[in-house]
Amino acid sequence: MKDAGNEYAWVRELCLQSASTCPSALVEELMGAPECPAFGPAHHVLAGAALLTCVSNARGDGDLAAKLDELIARSSNVPGGTCARWGACGAALSCGMALAIELDNAPLKQDGWSGAQMMVAELLHAIARAGAPRCCKRDTRIAVGEATSWFSRALGVTLESLPETDIVCRVSDQNSVCLGGACPYFG
């Protein structure tokens, strides 16, 4: 069995070095790292990690490392293919995990519980509207882009956003079922 902490150490290190307050820009940086595969469960870590990092940077928090460790522990339990097998995209779930960590949610704690659930539902709806499987990069971009305003409102922080037109996919040639021009990120 792989040690998730070691497997995703590169995500942790890149996040700890970042000063970004724009989750979309940070997730692009993470997805562009040489360690990041074109597809797969690494994206279940990246989405929440970008959000946690940017919130921490906006607040000036000192506990980012512990939050990233918790996110990696949680999100590394979400296997590849979750979108098809569980009916829920792992990137959207990662965003929910990150908000739950920020809100210090617990199974019996009422405050924050429904907000995180509604956010994940909205993210899943946006991803489903994209209309096609097998693009972890597209779905991660959608999840992080949609989650940014939720995080800003729920946590009272100002997070920056990138316009969709500023985001261009660099791996579409590696996806045999790429939507091409029907994808907002297609280059």
- Residue of 37, 20, 61 lying closest to 144 (CA atoms): 20
Question: What pLDDT score was predicted for residue 175?
Answer: 83
pTM (2 decimals)? 0.94
Residue 89 has pLDDT above 90, yes or no: yes
Average pLDDT over residues 22-30: 97
For the chain, the average pLDDT equals 92
- Residue of 186, 136, 184 lying closest to 27 (CA atoms): 136
Contact (CB, 8 A) for 38 and 171 = yes
Contact (CB, 8 A) for 35 and 12 = no
